[in-house]
Structure 1
């Protein structure tokens, strides 16, 4: 998503500094202060120098039902077949009126290109928004013609009147001396069974998104991009409690631990944490007008490093790669894309798995409580849910560079505290949750450590919700929400840091809803929302944008705070939005 409402940065974005071009401050529209339209602080995907070739996927489509919107794709002409960067741009809007938030997906050849949700309108505001995704790593898919579809189910009738419109295009930036062609995966393969593409429903912990594949025999690196979106009874999974407490605290059951588990041939192969996305109709719709929650309109996939399995996957036999969501309780939708790098100098890479301590570590959290229910039925106290696992997965592959030993060493942790105060005058629930990943991927050729990729990821969530009766027979609901996303990465070669970056995205929102005795909303007050997005890297790149609103109107819109000269500036090849990279791909071995 772009900063400052719907501002766009074209191919002229980048001012050049030497052979490695640096993107200068992004020209933007006038300040968004006073706007009621969608306004976010997220950075645009930075662009290399040069004029892109543009391929339109669809334009001006209207989404009024649950029918698919197919499109045909052909690679661009005039920009070569190896690009410096590929960027997806999509624009959406919804007419003023009444409409739910809806899930939006774009697919090509079974591979997910974009996944997010839509902004809810109001009776007076017809919101519009712009999203972008860096698809450079999917270049192998985009070199071939194919069939795709937009999936955006909607209901339009006498009650739900909002019509959603959308357009999408791909921008291909040609390689040049100043912007070399990117080192990208050689194969991009979907796990879903739909040849054009659609998310897979995972109803329970045992429901799999899986595919059995006979893969190339010269794989030297492998990754899996995973998105797991909560729906239906699982939409508010982060507030649920174990079944044994549900009646006592008047909450949804099924617990509040969710985590995507990756397996190869039934063997645990990695973990993808689930982000607690809150959609624009979630909890209290006024919270998210005009600024939605973290990544709400544009989900970020999590990339699992499967490189220790490269030798095993190259053996010429069929292998089943699968994803399931631990704790899924009707239900999650999931997408997964397998990215393979191949040894260009060998037809056959041999190797195998050496160690996997994730085997036997079931994703079963520990649950405790301090709840007290008195004789009057009043409840106070907290329910805690915790799980932490450290694991090491190691494998080797005999490549044209020699024997490469790859190790993924990770600690994934989840902690959640649900505090309750329930009596005749109040119902209050406070959720404090943190999902974290601390890990490093290491690659050795012989005794030499040739590459390390460190990542420290945090998903903090705080929801303070109270529902109380009023003296006139009505009710009042007060909500405060804090969402966060922090991602710190570091790439090393031979013990030296080549690159390091920090991404932080936070949203804080609050509102009070008023209800009559029949639970009809009669008004709201005190709406406030603030988002801050910051990026810094070891090359001197800096991005900072802050937006704030009150009563649905933007009150503050500041950019470049703390950056040199008070202006945002990032290198075109960096990922200030925190989108996943391939770690050791920078090393080129």
Structure 2
């Protein structure tokens, strides 16, 4: 296969000095050639709690198998006052985009651009359908910011230098809305589920999962178990969250929950002009369900479900099931061989060193820890032999909430690390045909130090660091084929002053930095950095850590951290 490269250039003009949204994230790399464009909606106004429906028809003149499919969306909000809002785009019940919005200022109407690689969803786009944009927004005399948005799909025709990858043959949404919307998961028992009768020749299956914290759960990562809530003056319900995937009630996989911080979160000034990690554009987590492929092909209906362990009102969730079929057989057979995830309860270990002295001062820490290792294995008898797939994974969660509380001061430090170490191995007979390794780390550090001033005001110094670290690697026949690393880190701080009624009086010392880096084994490189102070961009660079200080990413790579398991880099 010929490999084309895409050199990613810096913006036409420097953003230094701007107060508008500025991020270090890469765009989706594109193959050569002119794309066919399908406009989904254009300059829609979001000023109420209604959806914005649209009709979709496949592009003409681009065939039905594409080298790449990319969603582009542009949003803006008028100057004034407005909360961060959740935005999503759907087609036929399947999620195309999920994220939140930037908050405006009285004299600033920010705008921003997002992209998502949807090549693995190509089967969805071959037929006409109904879609909708969902962006609920309250506009009244207090909350005046009106949000506008446009979105389109770009279809890049396949060519000799950019062949169409093998993509899933079918995409199935989880959820109850046939056009598309999220599902509310209020507690650990709440489920988002779909009962499906799948084709009789499924050979691989994956689930793309989004779980977004809302309402009482928005700041779940700072909460403590109920028994410590009053003493620490914090939210109860604990801080362990994890998405649990099941098939017919049997545990089938785990999806970690990312601690996204939205643009109004904790201290809204930290995120102007650079939002937190993925705040405007969430990345899904892909779960390998291939060990269940033989069972899913038996002609019976099967229920695929997602829940969030620890949910405490509430999480918004959506998921899409991606299915590959055996093109050489109408019927396959198989079975699940072992599943050590079943029987492993997602119940963390809680520890405490909290102490309270005679004056009522509280010091110490609350810890929450859980680590699970599991193996899920199954086989499918396909037209190219018996394929046995083993998913071997360790998921970890470690959280420490440290407190120093007096009558006039409240100091809380959150240190949290969610981690995944996993590998999926496929064998045809005794031959190791494919191996996919994936490692994720979600570090989070939040330091909030609140002091009561002599005039009754509250001074709150907040420092936040969050990261998204991903390593993926593929091997064929036991020989390394490809690897890629993604690192996205944001750090910022600010001091808020609130009056006794908790109204904002002032803020000072805002500063933030985002660093984004991507490298892969084929020489692909992307680096970007943006810094701000007093809510203006003070530094911006791109390509600084790449050869010749030039970003260069191969067109089929995923520098943004989006999932790519099962694309053209695998031969079957």
**In the alignment, does 2:248 pair up with 1:262?**
no
Tell me the alpha carbon deviations over residues 419-458 of structure 1, each in whole angstroms, 9 at most, x when there is no partner: 0000023100000000000000000011110100001100
Distance in 2 between residues matched to 1:439 and 1:519, nearest whole Å: 45
Tell me the alpha carbon deviations over residues 454-505 of structure 1, each in whole angstroms, 9 at most, x when there is no partner: 0110000000001111122211011000010000000000111110000000
Is the CA contact (8 Å cut-off) linking 1:63 and 1:163 kept in structure 2?
Answer: yes
Is the CA contact (8 Å cut-off) linking 1:442 and 1:449 kept in structure 2?
Answer: yes
Residue 180 of structure 2: aligned partner: 197
Residue 382 of structure 1: aligned partner: 365
Tell me the alpha carbon deviations over residues 352-374 of structure 1, each in whole angstroms, 9 at most, x when there is no partner: 00000000001000000000011
Is the CA contact (8 Å cut-off) linking 2:40 and 2:54 kept in structure 1?
Answer: yes
Number of aligned residue pairs: give it. 572
Tell me the alpha carbon deviations over residues 78-103 of structure 1, each in whole angstroms, 9 at most, x when there is no partner: 11100000000000000000000000
Is the CA contact (8 Å cut-off) linking 1:491 and 1:584 kept in structure 2?
Answer: no
User: For 1:91-106, what aligned pairs fall within 5 Å after superposition?
Assistant: 91-106=74-89
**In the alignment, does 2:307 pair up with 1:324?**
yes
Is the CA contact (8 Å cut-off) linking 1:478 and 1:512 kept in structure 2?
Answer: yes
Is the CA contact (8 Å cut-off) linking 1:491 and 1:583 kept in structure 2?
Answer: no
Residue 484 of structure 2: aligned partner: 501
Distance in 1 between residues matched to 2:9 and 2:64, nearest whole Å: 28
Residue 24 of structure 1: SS of its match in structure 2? strand
Within the candidate set 219, 228, 232, 1:249 is matched to 232
Q: Measure how far apart 1:28 and its partner are.
A: 2.4
Residue 510 of structure 1: SS of its match in structure 2? strand
User: For 1:96-245, what aligned pairs fall within 5 Å after superposition?
Assistant: 96-245=79-228
Distance in 2 between residues matched to 1:122 and 1:545, nearest whole Å: 26
Residue 138 of structure 2: SS of its match in structure 1? coil
User: For 1:353-364, what aligned pairs fall within 5 Å after superposition?
Assistant: 353-364=336-347
Within the candidate set 443, 447, 460, 2:426 is matched to 443
Q: Measure how far apart 1:583 and its partner are.
A: 4.2
Residue 271 of structure 2: aligned partner: 288
Residue 19 of structure 2: aligned partner: 36
Distance in 1 between residues matched to 2:36 and 2:303, nearest whole Å: 37
Within the candidate set 444, 448, 452, 1:461 is matched to 444
Distance in 1 between residues matched to 2:83 and 2:424, nearest whole Å: 41
Distance in 2 between residues matched to 1:197 and 1:256, nearest whole Å: 29
Distance in 2 between residues matched to 1:98 and 1:114, nearest whole Å: 25
Residue 324 of structure 2: aligned partner: 341
Is the CA contact (8 Å cut-off) linking 2:212 and 2:315 kept in structure 1?
Answer: yes
Distance in 2 between residues matched to 1:20 and 1:581, nearest whole Å: 17
Is the CA contact (8 Å cut-off) linking 2:217 and 2:313 kept in structure 1?
Answer: yes
**In the alignment, does 2:386 pair up with 1:403?**
yes
Is the CA contact (8 Å cut-off) linking 2:26 and 2:560 kept in structure 1?
Answer: yes
Within the candidate set 65, 72, 95, 2:55 is matched to 72
Residue 581 of structure 1: aligned partner: 564
Residue 569 of structure 2: SS of its match in structure 1? helix
Distance in 2 between residues matched to 1:520 and 1:226, nearest whole Å: 37
User: Which stretches of structure 1, 4 residues or longer, exceed 3 Å deviation after superposition?
Assistant: none
Distance in 2 between residues matched to 1:495 and 1:174, nearest whole Å: 33
Distance in 2 between residues matched to 1:176 and 1:473, nearest whole Å: 68
Is the CA contact (8 Å cut-off) linking 1:228 and 1:274 kept in structure 2?
Answer: yes
Is the CA contact (8 Å cut-off) linking 1:453 and 1:583 kept in structure 2?
Answer: no
Residue 228 of structure 2: SS of its match in structure 1? helix
Residue 140 of structure 1: SS of its match in structure 2? helix
User: For 1:486-497, what aligned pairs fall within 5 Å after superposition?
Assistant: 486-497=469-480
Q: Measure how far apart 1:561 and its partner are.
A: 1.3
Is the CA contact (8 Å cut-off) linking 2:167 and 2:566 kept in structure 1?
Answer: no
Distance in 1 between residues matched to 2:490 and 2:566, nearest whole Å: 28
**In the alignment, does 2:71 pair up with 1:88?**
yes
Is the CA contact (8 Å cut-off) linking 1:513 and 1:524 kept in structure 2?
Answer: yes
Is the CA contact (8 Å cut-off) linking 1:203 and 1:331 kept in structure 2?
Answer: yes
Is the CA contact (8 Å cut-off) linking 2:121 and 2:167 kept in structure 1?
Answer: yes
Residue 335 of structure 2: SS of its match in structure 1? strand
Residue 532 of structure 1: SS of its match in structure 2? strand
Q: Measure how far apart 1:519 and its partner are.
A: 2.3
User: For 1:307-318, what aligned pairs fall within 5 Å after superposition?
Assistant: 307-318=290-301
Q: Measure how far apart 1:29 and its partner are.
A: 1.5
Residue 48 of structure 2: SS of its match in structure 1? coil
Residue 565 of structure 1: aligned partner: 548
Is the CA contact (8 Å cut-off) linking 2:253 and 2:287 kept in structure 1?
Answer: yes
Distance in 2 between residues matched to 1:514 and 1:427, nearest whole Å: 14
Is the CA contact (8 Å cut-off) linking 2:104 and 2:145 kept in structure 1?
Answer: yes
Is the CA contact (8 Å cut-off) linking 1:300 and 1:579 kept in structure 2?
Answer: yes
Within the candidate set 329, 333, 343, 1:350 is matched to 333
* Structure 1, gaps ≥5 residues long: 1-17
Distance in 2 between residues matched to 1:562 and 1:193, nearest whole Å: 46
Q: Measure how far apart 1:517 and its partner are.
A: 3.0
Is the CA contact (8 Å cut-off) linking 2:402 and 2:414 kept in structure 1?
Answer: yes
Root-mean-square deviation over aligned CA pairs:
0.9
Is the CA contact (8 Å cut-off) linking 1:257 and 1:326 kept in structure 2?
Answer: yes
Distance in 2 between residues matched to 1:379 and 1:517, nearest whole Å: 22
Is the CA contact (8 Å cut-off) linking 1:452 and 1:584 kept in structure 2?
Answer: no
Residue 587 of structure 1: SS of its match in structure 2? coil
Distance in 1 between residues matched to 2:261 and 2:498, nearest whole Å: 22
Residue 551 of structure 2: SS of its match in structure 1? coil
Q: Measure how far apart 1:518 and its partner are.
A: 2.9
